[in-house]
Amino acid sequence: ALELKLTPALILLRSTLDQLQEKDAAQIFSQPVNLAEVPDYLEFISKPMDLSSMRAKLEAHAYCSTTDLEGDFNLMVSNCLRYNSKETAFHRAALHLREVGGAVLRHAHRQAQSIG
Ligand SMILES: CC(=O)c1c[nH]c2ccccc12
């Protein structure tokens, strides 16, 4: 029902995910790593994660809090830091997203406290 979609908690989660998506301007993290194009990916990464998967989980009510959302964000960033070696653009993009996304999440945690 619409009223369940528009609870303050879901609205905050959606807004937080939208802000994280905006920080990924190059859309490196917007879709799952393509396993057909990157056949060895699962040799290094046991739990792939990306922003589209996070959005699907959010709409399936898989996240109870901004902390849950942060868990998948951190997984997504750490996967990228592990698979892509330090001198790559992807590795540097993950370091940057960790910084700017961390600020987004800290603000979201504070807002979650105020809505109770
Ligand atoms: C986020 C990430 O690691 C990647 C995003 N796109 C990619 C293409 C090839 C290998 C890795 C990636």
User: What pLDDT digit, counting tens, does each position of 88-116 carry?
Assistant: 999 999 999 999 999 999 999 999 998 87
Q: Look at residue 4 in the predicted model and tell me its pLDDT.
A: 73
Q: Which residues contact 52 (CB under 8 A, 6 or more apart)?
A: 30, 31, 32
Report the nearest-CA residue for atom 9 of ligand 1.
38
User: Model confidence at 73, in pLDDT bands (50, 70, 90)?
Assistant: very high
Q: Look at residue 62 in the predicted model and tell me its pLDDT.
A: 98
Distance between terminal CA atoms of the chain? Answer: 22
Ligand 1: atom nearest CA of 80 is 3
Report the nearest-CA residue for atom 5 of ligand 1.
28
Q: Rounded CA gap, 107 and 89, in Å?
A: 27
Inter-residue contact 23 to 97 (CB < 8 Å) = yes
pTM for this model (two decimals): 0.96
